[in-house]
Amino acid sequence: MMTKGRKKIHFGIDPQTHEIVLGKWRLKLPESPAVRVLIGSLLIVGGVLGFLPVLGFWMIPLGLLVLSHDIPFVRRRRRKLAVWWARWRGTQNSSSKS
């Protein structure tokens, strides 16, 4: 049961614990901003090389999510995408109920 006023996060960064939340999985972010930027950048570079074995294109959005914790430009883009996604899903769900 959820507590009143607290929203359950399914995807993003939990502001209380500073963990990346991906559904039921939680990944702890490093304390150092430099290490977070390095990890995010490496994930994006690995994602660009996603056609190679072991690497994958899934690394690009994860890298952008990690970078959004420290870089305001990336954070604004992530928030705009999240708002657009919520509105799109809301209209899709409400129209399918008719």
- Nearest alpha carbon to residue 64 among 79, 52, 53: 79
For the entire predicted model, the pTM comes to 0.70
DSSP code of 70?
A: T
**How does pLDDT run along the chain (98 residues), one tens digit per residue?**
444 555 666 777 887 888 888 888 888 888 888 999 999 999 999 999 988 888 889 899 889 989 988 899 998 998 898 888 888 888 665 445 54
* Cβ atoms within 10 Å, residue 87: 10
